Chains A and B, each alone.
Chain A
Amino acid sequence: MPHSEENLLDQIESLYRERFADFVAVAASILGERESAREAVQDAFASVVRSRRDFRREGPLEAWVWRAVINAARKKKRRYARDAQARATARALNGTVPDRLGSDLATLVAALPERQRLVLFLRYYADLDYLRIAQILGVRTGTVSASLHAAHKTLRHALEEAVER
């Protein structure tokens, strides 16, 4: 294995170890449950390791990996949507319910549009700056700012309403 490739593998591994919790949380923001999110992260990193030769170093490695994680989560979500009926049946049969988001905030976050939800998690959970979030999502920084503002506004408004009730 060439030195640079080995070096890249090391970088991917350290990214995985350092940011595992963030990756899982962001994937969970798409999938709505933690176990599937973990699976998506494992799959995403497997894919990143496999295709690391394709990394052209045109942008930061972290952004590339984040995109892989988000894509893996989205792919899993699509598959879940297809299998929704089967899963519902399975849950009814074995009596287990995935650890879905339970609190008010969780419900509200889950109801946000996906981009807003992703931006929210990437900013406040993974602590990434606007530029990096824009690189990951393939949008402009202005869009990140607008999405974050919209998400924040929705949550604040909904939580205030909940308190008033």
Chain B
Amino acid sequence: MNESQLRERLLKLFPPAADVDWDDVLARAKRPAWSFRRLALLVAAAILAVLAVGSALALSGRLGGLFHGTAVNDVTPREGFLLSEFDMNGKVELIAKRNASAFYLIRRSDGRLCYSIGDIRKNLTPAQAEGRMRFGGGGCIDPRVFPSKAMPVLNFSSYAYRPGDAEWRLVGLRGFAADPVDRIGVIGRNNRIDFSVRVDNNVYTAGQKAFPGGRGIVALDKDGKVLWVQCQAIGTAHPRNFPNGGCGTYTNSPPPNLPPATQPTKPAKPTGPVVVQRGSDDGVSIIVRGAQISAGFARLTAEKRQLLVFKDGRINLGCFELVTVGAHEYSRSFGVTTPFAPTVRTRFSPLGESFTAPFDGCTVAGRYGHTWNDRHGTHDTVEIALTAKGRRFFAERAVARDITWLARARVFRDIRYARHPLATDEVARRLGSHVVPLNSPRATPPIGKLGVWVGDHRRIILVERTTTQRRLYLEIRHGIPYRTNLLGLS
């Protein structure tokens, strides 16, 4: 049955009605929409509802503007950038601190609320402070969904399974809860509440405690009444380690039933001429036309091809643009994993949004492991600069990787954490000919060499000069990165 046949049959099913009566419409329009009787019934029903389910109504009534905290005014440019990458930029408020967790609310300009929980870290070195990101796991949610009666808890815990475990475990129990929620309970393997944690100032956390066999959580009010259930043991298959069969009497609360929110209309991007970029290197040529990427691999060597193509016949193709945030430059990357072919045509459109040229460079990266100073070097397998900025970035990133990969390398571990520091010459000798000893912490090695200097207080400085004449360094004190200018590069 094709479309026209279906159309005909539907018309036969419902022959067009012709009994139009506009006067009847106008007459109906003049009648009051709500009769007094219906209004009275509604009021009576509302009163009954208040009497019958007092706590429930209190729940919905007090959820509106629950979360208010202290404004966080010291968001670093890096944190701001990272938040914006996850569409979470807005006014940040600290709701509470519990144990080693900080609970944040972010008010986006479009009215959406985002929630984030991060770890509290103290006594940071300058390098750690510069590179910190206080806002850990998080996300934005329709304020009609949370906090609401249908969803009074925004839970951030997760379920983990480690090889060797007989069952999965609930870990990182923490989250946000609306006012009427007094405790959060954990449903154990026997479908009983094995543990509960108090909700204080709308947040809860059980710290590092893990719950082997945890099947879900419940929200309890101050009388111990269950307000909401989130049961994860809902599988129907029977893999050995994953729970199924539900949570006994604790059945999942129904999801909020809301009409779809009207999407704010995004301002239309100006449609200028399509940007076209071309570049080639390492046997690969790239042509970018707006959001379309075409990569030609005809001149790729067999060795590079072996490094690039995964066992499943696919490659990782990515392009990036460089953005300056604060005093640092960060790369914003877009990539796809796509089947390898002599010519690969693709576009970067995660979540339906297309990313378009201009880019500063593109890469095709292999899936091989890296160790410091190995034969693969510190460049990606294929790097194609599309702008001068991109060329500079590739050069500097390769040097930055040389330093950071050494700092993490097994061969460096004894040096980094040595209780009795070795002499500079001895360190250089142990690391091979690529590393040269430096006379002072301010010295710089020649291009292509990695300089090392070791001083008192377990102070180690790794330095390298880029072909762009930039001096990159990492200073380690007591085994911890203390100061660096590698941020955004490695």
Check A16 against B13 for contact (C-beta < 8 Å).
Answer: no
15 contacting pairs across A/B (C-beta < 8 A): A17-B20, A20-B17, A20-B18, A21-B16, A24-B17, A25-B10, A25-B14, A42-B24, A45-B25, A46-B26, A49-B25, A105-B13, A120-B6, A121-B10, A155-B6
Chain A, Cβ-Cβ closest to B20 = A20
Check A109 against B13 for contact (C-beta < 8 Å).
Answer: yes
Question: Number of B residues whose C-beta is below 8 Å from A?
Answer: 27
In the complex, whether A28 has a CB less than 8 A from a CB of chain B is yes
Check B17 against A34 for contact (C-beta < 8 Å).
Answer: yes
Check B7 against A38 for contact (C-beta < 8 Å).
Answer: no
In the complex, whether B3 has a CB less than 8 A from a CB of chain A is yes
Check A38 against B17 for contact (C-beta < 8 Å).
Answer: yes
Question: B14 touches which one: A20, A28, A139, A152 (CB < 8 A)?
Answer: A28
The docked-state distance in angstroms from the alpha carbon of A46 to that of B9 is 31
- Return the 9 tightest CB-CB contacts between A and B, nearest first: A46-B28, A21-B16, A49-B29, A25-B14, A46-B29, A45-B25, A24-B17, A124-B7, A20-B20
Say how far B121's CB is from chain A's closest CB, in angstroms: 42
Check A49 against B26 for contact (C-beta < 8 Å).
Answer: yes
In the complex, whether B21 has a CB less than 8 A from a CB of chain A is yes
The docked-state distance in angstroms from the alpha carbon of A103 to that of B13 is 8
Interface centre among B1, B7, B16, B20 (most CB of A within 10 A): B20
The docked-state distance in angstroms from the alpha carbon of A49 to that of B14 is 26
Question: A46 touches which one: B3, B6, B25 (CB < 8 A)?
Answer: B25
B33 partner residues in chain A, CB cutoff 8 A: 47, 50
The docked-state distance in angstroms from the alpha carbon of A46 to that of B17 is 18
Say how far B8's CB is from chain A's closest CB, in angstroms: 9
Say how far A91's CB is from chain B's closest CB, in angstroms: 21
B interface with A by C-beta (< 8 Å): 1, 3, 6-7, 9-11, 13-14, 16-22, 24-29, 31, 33, 259-260, 262
Say how far B330's CB is from chain A's closest CB, in angstroms: 32
Question: Number of A residues whose C-beta is below 8 Å from B?
Answer: 32
The docked-state distance in angstroms from the alpha carbon of A46 to that of B31 is 9
A25 partner residues in chain B, CB cutoff 8 A: 10, 14, 16-17
| A window 20-48: CB within 8 A of B | 20-21, 24-25, 28, 34, 38, 42-43, 45-47
| A window 73-118: CB within 8 A of B | 101, 103, 105-106, 109
In the complex, whether A138 has a CB less than 8 A from a CB of chain B is yes
B31 partner residues in chain A, CB cutoff 8 A: 46
Given contacts A25-B14, A124-B10, A155-B6, contact A38 B22 (CB under 8 A): no
Check A16 against B22 for contact (C-beta < 8 Å).
Answer: yes
A24 partner residues in chain B, CB cutoff 8 A: 14, 17
Say how far A130's CB is from chain B's closest CB, in angstroms: 13
A42 partner residues in chain B, CB cutoff 8 A: 21, 24-25, 28
In the complex, whether A55 has a CB less than 8 A from a CB of chain B is no
Say how far A10's CB is from chain B's closest CB, in angstroms: 11
Given contact pairs A24-B14, A34-B14, A155-B6, a sample of 8 additional A-B residue pairs in the complex whose CB atoms are under 8 Å apart = A16-B25, A21-B18, A25-B16, A46-B31, A101-B13, A120-B6, A124-B10, A138-B259
B259 partner residues in chain A, CB cutoff 8 A: 138
Chain A, Cβ-Cβ closest to B260 = A138
In the complex, whether A13 has a CB less than 8 A from a CB of chain B is yes
Check A17 against B16 for contact (C-beta < 8 Å).
Answer: no
A125 partner residues in chain B, CB cutoff 8 A: 7, 10-11, 14
The docked-state distance in angstroms from the alpha carbon of A159 to that of B260 is 34
Say how far A50's CB is from chain B's closest CB, in angstroms: 5
B20 partner residues in chain A, CB cutoff 8 A: 16-17, 20
Say how far A127's CB is from chain B's closest CB, in angstroms: 8
Say how far A100's CB is from chain B's closest CB, in angstroms: 11
